[in-house]
Structure 1
Amino acid sequence: MRRLLALLLLWTAHSLAEQPVLRFSVVESWSMPLVRLEGDQPVEGLVFDLLQALAREAGVRPEYHVMARLRLQQAMDAGDIDVRCYASTRWFNDRPGNFVWSIPLIQQRDVLVGRPGDNDAVQPEQLPPQAIGTVLGYAYGTLEPLFAQGRLQREDSRSQQLALQKLQVGRYQHAVSNELSLQWFNQGLPAGQRLQVQAVLEEQALGCMVRNDPAIPTQGVLRALVRMKESGAIDRIVQRYGAAEYSGEGLGARP
């Protein structure tokens, strides 16, 4: 019995050693429900579960590289990462020539968020001059003209959660959040203390980008994502981290 167990462990170790290693990017400004970090490694969250499931489906070993949002493009250009997920084609002026896009995987919304009791719908261009809670390194296409004109000013935070916490304590009157993060933030609060959606700013599809290199199984990873989407595995991951009313329709700021 001991010999059989030793052979099984040896076979498992050998099988894992044969699996190619893929380097997945993780943005350090992400917070739950996207990712929770311990030390310098992700341990839970929607994106973490997605990447773990992708690694299993594609038969690869994941290696996570946590980095600042503003360093992502440099890392891609240098070939330092193999897979980048939770990204939109709208975030790039030019198509990255050395990466291949997956099919769209997740839909989510960017919303303008007000404080508890701010239930009235309002459009950003109707707001008086003020600071808006934003996340460092994120781009907000709908608001960029207002930022450029000086009608609104960015007040950047290191993470989406911190931006919402500052709104909650009155540092500013409005913030921008993706819908999923807002619902995660609100779900532990009494109804009278929940932050309010006042406008939908933007919707876009998110997917993954895989480095186009013969040294890695690019097409195998892309096919794995197709299978995961068609089987409903990705939608189940999204629902696992969504509030009860999350529809899975709509999407967000550039993370």
Structure 2
Amino acid sequence: MPRMLRCRLLFALLFCPLSLLQAAELKVLVLDGDAMPWAEVRNNQLVAGLYFDLGQALAAQMGRKARFVLLPRKRLVHSIESGGSDVLCNYLPAWLPGKFDWSTPFIPNAELLISDQRASKPASLDGFANVRIGTVLGYVYAELDRVLGERFLRDDAPSMRNNLRKMMVGRVQHMVTNQFELEYLQRQGLFKMPLHPFTILRSFKGQCAVSRSGQVRVAEVDRAIAALQAQYTLRKILERYR
């Protein structure tokens, strides 16, 4: 390479605006309290899990490099609204209201009501009236709200994993969980309690919240999702944790 051209390239790198150097990033937001199968964090860095694999795949499909941003629950909305992160995946609009856009639904899951086999299980949802049910602080449980109303007796915990621990020591006999995570823990031998047949409260598909102030638009994210589905990449990612 001629010396003059090398000098010009070096000058461009030295004085190029930082925003241009970062233009190829996709900032993927992840709740810092999440655990496997969603996330494995070491030294404050996301290193594995479905969110890691999905973020890498989405970024690569858009010609970008994934950069993972770990934040507590209370800071998620502000990060997406302000453009501090570009996408936050596997949520629903009802769980995370805010001024941002939503991708097409694409991560299959189900909301389950599970009961410890050592306790009796009501025959219908209405039978759970005024019965303590393990729930996650800040989450909306539309079906239980609809059926039970003011008789829905929530026993809030910081996370689903915390509720499972409470169930194992007998502090709660019924709880709401998601099927994807529960089955992963059972396969890994991390949750061995005998349960009654579960009740499906609803099936759903998780979406990505997309910042209106970030570096990608929701249409770009949707195109990337469609491409990952067409290439069977998404199915392969999900099967790693099923």
| SS of 1:56 mapped into structure 2 | helix
Q: Which residue of 2 aligns with 1:139?
A: 140
1:180-219 matches, within 5 Å, as 180-189=180-189, 193-213=193-213, 216-218=215-217, 219=219
Q: Once the 2 structures are TM-superposed, how far is the Cα of residue 238 of structure 1 from its aligned partner? A: 1.3
User: Which of the numbers 52, 55, 78 marks the counterpart of 2:56?
Assistant: 52
Larger Rg: 2
| Contact in 1 for aligned 2:101/2:211 (Cα 8 Å) | yes
Question: What stretches of structure 1 of length at least 5 have no aligned partner?
Answer: 1-16, 243-255
- In structure 2, the CA distance between the partners of 1:193 and 1:226, relative to structure 1 (3 Å rule), is same
Superposition CA RMSD, Å: 2.9
Q: Which residue of 1 aligns with 2:38?
A: 34
Contact 2:119 2:173 in 1 (8 A): no
Cα shift at 1:117: 5.7
Deviation for aligned residue 1:74: 2.4
Which runs of no fewer than 5 residues in structure 2 stay unpaired?
Answer: 1-20
Q: Does 1:70 align with 2:69?
A: no
Q: CA deviation at 1:143?
A: 2.1
CA–CA distance in structure 2, aligned partners of residues 31 and 160 of structure 1: 10
Distance 1:107 1:78, change over 3 A: same
Report the residue type matching 1:238 in the other structure.
L
Tell me the residue number matched to 1:43.
47
Q: TM-score, normalised by structure 2?
A: 0.78
Offset from partner CA, 1:124-151 (integer Å, 9 cap, x none): 32125232111222221122357751x2
**Which amino acid in 2 is paired with 1:216?**
Q
Q: What does residue 107 of structure 1 align with?
A: 108
TM-score of the superposition, structure 1-length normalised? 0.75
1:191 Cα offset (Å) = 10
Letter aligned with residue 222 of structure 1: D
Name the stretch that deviates more: 177-186 or 116-125: 116-125
Alignment length, in residue pairs? 222
1:22 is aligned to 2:21: no
Identical pairs, percent: 29
AA of the residue aligned to 1:25: L
